[in-house]
Structure formats: structure tokens, C-alpha cells
Chains A and B, each alone.
Chain A
């Protein structure tokens, strides 16, 4: 693979900022959508930026993911397509979620271009806010070492941390104090040339390291998934896994894929019931717990969105009870995605498996009389 290597980029944020500034100056884009550190310093947010002076403060690759980029973006195109051109600077899993939302018709990607970045992972927000300086420091060395320790659990097992099978336009990788620019689409090619770059550099070193990292990640991934599988065997295992869950639905609220304005589990249909209804359920079960439908919420959410789960882990980051909810969704997502040979965010034209069908398929599920 060929691309452009920019040497001596020890501060990657500064280098990427220069690129973004130049794209705004050249009027290739009207604005960029990029993470910025909030003035109080301990958190980050996405800003839609037009002004080059504000762009100076952006942190394209922050050490935490306080909000999932796709979730942040959603409001922008609620009323239809953009009337200007923007560049979204995001981590790979955020772009994947954007692609899934476009398939679910929750965002419109016309006039949106993507700049994806090599992502070594993020720290857990709860850890970060206690010692931000310490984590800022260790994050800067993370791009050299790529150690899984201390990262969000889903990041430790992520196998799509770079330009692997992603519907992005332009990718920036990091290797040996250099920035690696790789156009991935025609659009990306145009952005790339407008910056005055040519694909002349050989990227073998970066690619070899990427493959080595992937190999290491896959190892941890397989091991972790096997453990998760064993832990969640049968309803007993599953209940044990979720034992601390307080049914607050926070995991759903921060998830980029869960887009329903009103979740079924919070709908009047589900929650406004005659008191007798509950008594009938009590008679059958001996008792029912309140708030109701806790396991139904988790299993139901899996049936609704696991095909599109990008494994970002914000759900787990947002869980007040430290339930490994991101890990179990990542695991089950992987299972169902493999079954349909589907990968969220790979291609915007690849339909989500439950939104399409083949006439002649899945006959093993018809009249299946599984015996115990």
C-alpha cells in the first residue's frame, strides 16, 4: 500500500490540526466536526468548527471517549441533509456507528466526509477524571507502545483499530513519530491531493506493525470471548453476569446505535399497565421485581441492535454499576454478525441483515424441533 508519510510528527494533534486548518483555508470544507477539550480541562466534547482560531484547540485523538461521535453527530442532520460540507474526524468505531445510523436512516451522509485515525484505545472515563494529567501523559506514549493495560475493556480486544474494512474516506495512521496518510475512497483521494500530497511513500513498516498488533489483539479477543461465553452459560450465568444491574437504561442512552426516540422499554405500552396485570404476573411467578423487565431489556436490546454493535464500549463506560455490559454486547454482536457474514460500518451499501433477506435460505430454522 502507498500513501504519504509525514516525518517528525511527535505531536500528532498539532500535525492533524495543521491539516484541518489547511482544509478550511482552502475551502475544501465549510466546517469540521472534531473533539475539543472543554475549558475546565477534564473532559472532551465534539465541536462543529468553522473558525480556524478555535480549531487550534482541537484534540483529534482524545484519551477518553466521553461521548460517542455518532451519538454526538445525530442532531446535525435531523431535518435532512447538510447544506454545507463537513469533515468528521473520528475514531474508527465512531465512523462505523455513523455508517450504521445512515443505514437506519438516522443520519444523512451526503456532504459528510470522514477522516479516521489509528486508535490505540481510550481510558475509562471514571479513571481519567480522577487523574487527568497522569492519563494525558501516558496516552501520549500509548501510540508508541500500544499496550492494552488500563484501557477500556472493549478497546483491549478491538480488531478494527485502524483502516481495516472501514467506510472512511481518508485515514491517518501513526508510526515511529510519523503521520501516515492513506486515501481510502475517491473522495478521500480528492482531499488528499488538495492538500498537495501524492501517494508515493511505501507504507510497509506501518502495515507490518498493524498486522502484528492485530495478531496480538485477536489473541486477547479470543481468550476474552471464550471467558465471556463460559460466564454467561444459561439463565443462571446470565443473571450472575448482570447481578448488580439497577435497570437504569443508561447503557442504552449513551449507545450510538440505540436511536429510538422512545425506547420500547420506556414506552407507555410497556410501562403503563393496570395494577391487576402485575398481580397476575405475581401469581404465576410468586413475585416480580420492580422496576420490571430487567433481563428483557438486555436480551431485547441485543435482538434489536447487536447486528450493528460496533463494540465501542461507551455503554460500559456509562454504567454506574460496573456491569461489563459493553463486553457482552461486543461478544454477542460478534456472534450474530459472523452468522450473517456482516460487519457494521464496513460498507454503507451493505444492508443490515434484518433489513434484507434471501428467498432461499435459513431453512434449518423452519420447523426446527430442537430437543433438549
Chain B
């Protein structure tokens, strides 16, 4: 079971940096996890914690939010707000002991195709070790 489990991952990628990095990784034929669904957002600050919770409650195994490095946000400060919101969400998840290890925030610039591949692979491996999201088969919890 452990060897065959391919985690379902969602990546919220900011248009200006991390999405471009994913593109670059693709055109350079770098390896990325097979089941990573990417969602392009204009800025990491567009990601409401509800999006992340929604994915989690529906049974997604891991969610990664990626944006421009601090100081490089296309809208100047969006990623600083994104970091605060992510910290807030993490605190809530940790307090209720709700799989905080299934969520990750990373900064990946447009030129970092290599880093994109490495970060997502690393994330997929850690989720693989953690196993599937138990909420997947819980119809009463949504």
C-alpha cells in the first residue's frame, strides 16, 4: 500500500513567480509529482485559508502554496500577508491536531524551475510517508 500510494496534491501558484517556475520546470523536463494539480492565482495573497481547508476536507492529501520571494511580490506586499494568513491557519490546524504536515508555504521565483521540481518532490515524498488523507472516505465530514 505504502509504495503504491500516489498522493493527490494541489498547488496554488502565484502567476508572476511560482507558476512561471512550474512552466520552466516543465519545459526543462524536470521531474514534478505526477498528481500535482496546479491552480494559478494572481498572487499568493489571493489564497483564502478557506481554499486550503476546502481541499483538505474533500480529501486532498497535501496543499502547497507558492509565491514570489519576500520583497519580490508583483504587488509589493501580497506575500507578507499570505505568510501571516498561513501562520494563522497553521496555528488553528495545529491546535486541533488536524494534519498540519499536509500544508506547505514556499517561495519560488520565476527562474527557479529546479527549485520548483525539488520542493514539490520533497513535499510529495513527505505526504507519501504520512499516508492518504483520512478525510477522503468520510462522507459525514465536509
Contacts and interface: CB of A to CB of B under 8 A. Distances in A.
A296 B136 contact: no
B129 A332 contact: no
Interface residues of A, number: 49
Given A296-B53, A299-B92, A332-B92, A353 B84 contact: yes
- What is the size category of the interface that chain B forms with chain A? 35 or more
Interface of A: 229, 232-235, 237-239, 264, 281, 284-289, 292-296, 299-300, 302-304, 306-307, 332, 335-336, 339-340, 353-354, 356-359, 361-362, 365-372
B13 to A, nearest CB: 15
B97 interface: yes
Which label, helix, strand, loop or mixed, suits the secondary structure of the B interface?
A: helix
Contact of B80 (A232, A306, A359): A359
A213 B48 CA distance: 40
A41 to B, nearest CB: 42
The 10 closest A-B pairs by CB, nearest first: A357-B80, A287-B139, A303-B49, A370-B101, A300-B50, A372-B130, A234-B97, A365-B87, A285-B139, A362-B87
A358 B79 CA distance: 11
A303 B93 CA distance: 10
Contact of A285 (B58, B84, B97, B100): B58
B46 to A, nearest CB: 14
Contact of A339 (B91, B135, B137): B91
Nearest to B80: A357
Contacts of A307: 88
Contacts of A235: 96, 98, 134-135, 138, 141
B142 A292 contact: yes
Contacts of A233: 96-97
Contacts of A284: 58-59, 136
Interface stretch (B17-25, B31-39, B102-110): B102-110
